[in-house]
Amino acid sequence: MPRTASVGPVPPRPLAGRIPVTRLTPSLPDPRWSPKAFVTEVVPFGATVFREGHDLVGAYVTLTSPGGSSTRHPMSEAGKGLDRWEVSAQLDEPGIWTWTVTGYGDDWATWRHDAGIKIDAGVDVELMYEIGARLLEGAAADTARPAAVRRRLTTAAKTARTPAPTPAIRRKRRGVIDDPHLAAEFRIRPLAHLRTESKPQTLRVEPRIAGVGSWYEFFPRSEGAVQRADGSWQSGTFRTAVDRLDGVAAMGFDVLYLPPIHPIGTAFRKGRNNTLDPGPHDPGSPWAIGSADGGHDTVHPELGTLEDFRAFVEEASGRGIRIALDLALQVSPDHPWVQQHPKWFTHLPDGTIAFAENPPKKYQDIYPINFDHDPNGILREVERIVRHWMAQGVRIFRVDNPHTKPLWFWEALIGRINATDPDVVFLAEAFTRPPMLHALAMVGFQQSYSYFTWRNTKEELEDYLSELSHVSSAFLRPNLFVNTPDILTAYLQYGGPAAFSIRATIAATAAPVWGVYSGFELFESVARPGAEEAIDNEKYEYKPRDFARAEAEGKSLALYLGILNRIRADHPALAQLRNLHVHRSDDDAVLVYSKRLDGAFTASGVDDTVIVVVNTDPHSVRETTVHLDAAALGLEPGARFTVRDLVTDETWQWGGDDFVRLDSFTRPAHILEVVQDD
């Protein structure tokens, strides 16, 4: 009997496609969530596209806006032999965008490559020209192309077929291969076959305030506070705090963050410098929320009324400042929830409720919430509280210690709020391990505190700024706070005024969002012994400051902070996260990086390029040579160009290797714009 071949199971449909399209970016480490961007952000899209054999391929991205309009963006090779294709696009509409990458066999690019080699070598000359002429005729028959383009294609086809008895005709005929007009036309409308489209990808585009902002923090109770002769205090109020708004606006800050403004408990109240024995006039920590006067939906009576708060928000808005309010999901032992919702807390065997701890720190005045026993009830209540403050004009929430709460909770809460109010922003104050920090950003937080505070050396900053701008930029949007009430690093404690200037310079120019806690501009640098926080900490006492006197005596950084924010406003390149490029210097303390925004994405149509050179050693004068990557600056190798210092208005002629001298005691940094030639 004749032998028959066995028939196996039918193989599944291949996933690769005819032209494989792989490794799409932007993407997340976990595909359950979408990458994100913000309105006006320039997003780099990328994919690996290749095929078998030697024929060439091309690729393009198709972007579909939330409104349903689609645009096609031709991609370019990132480097020969890498099969990596990239293009950048600026997104101008909030909502969920979809995008695909299409890979295709590029008939024109393949012909140009083969024809250039063969014709110059005298091999198959007429055959190659005939193939090119037919490609051109096929393109000319495409009625979707403009009439003028179709005529040019027809003329080029005739030229390709023209016999070449003279050198002049041969040159004209050879010119078809390298004609820039044809190359431009086929880049926009390629001669493509074997098109293979990737699966649709999504990208969440959030309002611009989610990605760009200059934050300032102050305690309303300190603004206008007065100490009486008997040692007691008259608290500052929302009405007295209005007087500080002009100073905040003058420095160019557009977000004012307020610590909790709610009633403060008396049980286990902390005294000055976190002591356990408060005096009769100690106001307690604002994070010990809740008393007989109310909880998270109530204003501390000493600050004023809810009407006073709304008036404060309106006053800030009139100065171009948005209010960010602290959302701290914890309570004092006096909070109404303790009696109303006992299941929301952890009860110990001795009958007491567990207070908060972050060893070696103990917070006896705070009860953390236990989300395991009534999760839906807690979610409903917190959503109610958030919407209550939204109704008072708050659209930004700085969330205290979100890493101590379940991840699902934040995903649900932020998802519910943004489903109805996509302009509401949540900032995660999560100084924690990277997996949790990153996960919080992926599930919904629009901004995140970061490890920037503890990255101070040149090497640390090079690595970390590169990570923030490239590795995690598809999901984590860093807010580079230079200090907080809890964080006064050794760098600031011992670096003198230069350290404050250096840190502000880097924070303001390295990321589109940065922040300052009040007192930074006064060079407050004395720490509580044995702690990484300021002595006489404002968390536990009133701390009125004389900003005007400090400025008059030349002991304030306020003017420079205003200059930094003005530079940020004038240079759109600094309002981008993903465009930071680190350059080299010969000195181990001199940090160099640039930010460039192509003229295609600026209002002026001109490239915006800023170079930052910083001496990270606050105790020295450094002289060195910096080595600039011309391509990252949008320049040709070896080009000479003019740079202008945006602080001093000095100009220099620079090239690829340039000398700098940075004196930390007088001028620790250059912030330079590349001057465009007329």
C-alpha 29/C-alpha 27 separation (Å) is 7
**pLDDT tens digits, residue range 312-347?**
999 999 999 999 999 999 999 999 999 999 999 999
Whether residue 604 lies inside any domain: the answer is: yes
**pLDDT tens digits, residue range 555-588?**
999 999 999 999 999 999 999 999 999 999 999 9
Q: What share of the chain is helix, strand, coil (3-state, %, to 5)?
A: 35, 25, 40
Backbone phi, then psi, for 3, in 5-degree steps?
Answer: -80, 140
Whether residue 130 lies inside any domain: the answer is: yes
Residues 6+ apart with CB under 8 A from 86: 44, 45, 46, 75, 76, 78
What average pLDDT is seen over the chain? 95
SS (H, E, C) 217-251: ECCHHHCCCEECCCCCEECCCHHHHHHHHHHHHHC
Tell me which of 172, 206, 240 is where a domain ends.
Answer: 206
Residue 270 is assigned to a ligand binding site: yes
Sequential DSSP letters for 513-561: EEEEETTGGGT--PBPTTSSSBSS-TTSS-----HHHHHHTT---HHHH
pLDDT reported for residue 360: 78
Using only C-alpha atoms, the chain has a radius of gyration, in whole angstroms, of 31
pLDDT reported for residue 539: 97
| CATH number reported for the structural domain that contains residue 614 in this entry | 2.60.40.1180
pLDDT reported for residue 235: 98
**Catalytic: 297?**
no
Written as one letter, the residue type at 630 is A
**pLDDT tens digits, residue range 215-229?**
999 999 999 999 999
Whether residue 427 lies inside any domain: the answer is: no
Written as one letter, the residue type at 501 is S
Q: 288 near 371, Cβ under 8 Å?
A: no
SS (H, E, C) 139-178: HHCCCCCCHHHHHHHHHHHHHHHCCCCCHHHHHHHHHHHH
Whether residue 18 lies inside any domain: the answer is: yes
Q: Which of 400, 538, 541, 617 is catalytic?
A: 400
Cα pseudo-dihedral 670, 567, 422, 43, rounded to 10: -50
| CATH number reported for the structural domain that contains residue 130 in this entry | 2.60.40.10
Look up tokens 């026993």; give the residue: 373
Q: Which residues pair with 651 in a beta bridge?
A: 644
Whether residue 72 lies inside any domain: the answer is: yes
Helix (H) or strand (E) holding 420: helix 407-420
User: How far, in Å, are 252, 499, 572, 649, 675 from residue 567 at the CA level?
Assistant: 10, 20, 9, 12, 15
pLDDT reported for residue 164: 82
Tell me which of 167, 184, 206 is where a domain ends.
Answer: 206
pLDDT reported for residue 459: 98
DSSP state of 488: -
Instruction: State the alpha helices, DSSP H only, in 193-342.
Output: 238-250, 306-318, 336-340
pLDDT reported for residue 410: 98
Look up the pTM and report it: 0.94
Tell me which of 206, 238, 270 is where a domain ends.
Answer: 206
Q: Which residues pair with 72 in a beta bridge?
A: 62
Q: 558 near 552, Cβ under 8 Å?
A: no
Q: What is the end-to-end Cα distance of the chain in Å, rounded? A: 88
Question: Quick one: tokens of 235?
Answer: 């608290």
**pLDDT tens digits, residue range 105-125?**
999 999 999 999 999 999 999
List the chain residues with pLDDT less than 50. Answer: none
Q: How many residues does the chain have?
A: 678
- Residue 300, SS3? coil
Question: Quick one: tokens of 414?
Answer: 């932020």
Q: Which of 106, 334, 429, 658 is catalytic?
A: 429
Range of the domain at 93: 12-206
Q: Which residues pair with 641 in a beta bridge?
A: 654
Residue 539 is assigned to a ligand binding site: yes
Sign of the Cα pseudo-torsion (389, 392, 397, 398, in order): negative
**Catalytic: 124?**
no
pLDDT reported for residue 591: 98
Q: What's the gap between Cα 315 and its chain centre?
A: 28
pLDDT reported for residue 13: 74
C-alpha 167/C-alpha 161 separation (Å) is 15
**pLDDT tens digits, residue range 473-502?**
999 999 999 999 999 999 999 999 999 999
Whether residue 653 lies inside any domain: the answer is: yes
Backbone phi, then psi, for 341, in 5-degree steps?
Answer: -135, 65
Whether residue 285 lies inside any domain: the answer is: no
**Exposure string for 3-19, b = 16+ CB within 10 A, e = fewer:** eeeeeeeeeeeeeeeeb
Question: Quick one: tokens of 115?
Answer: 């024809």
Burial grade of 361 (CB within 10 A; 0-12, 13-18, 19 or more): exposed
Whether residue 79 lies inside any domain: the answer is: yes
| Structural domains of the chain, count | 2
SS (H, E, C) 349-363: CCCCECCEEECCEEE
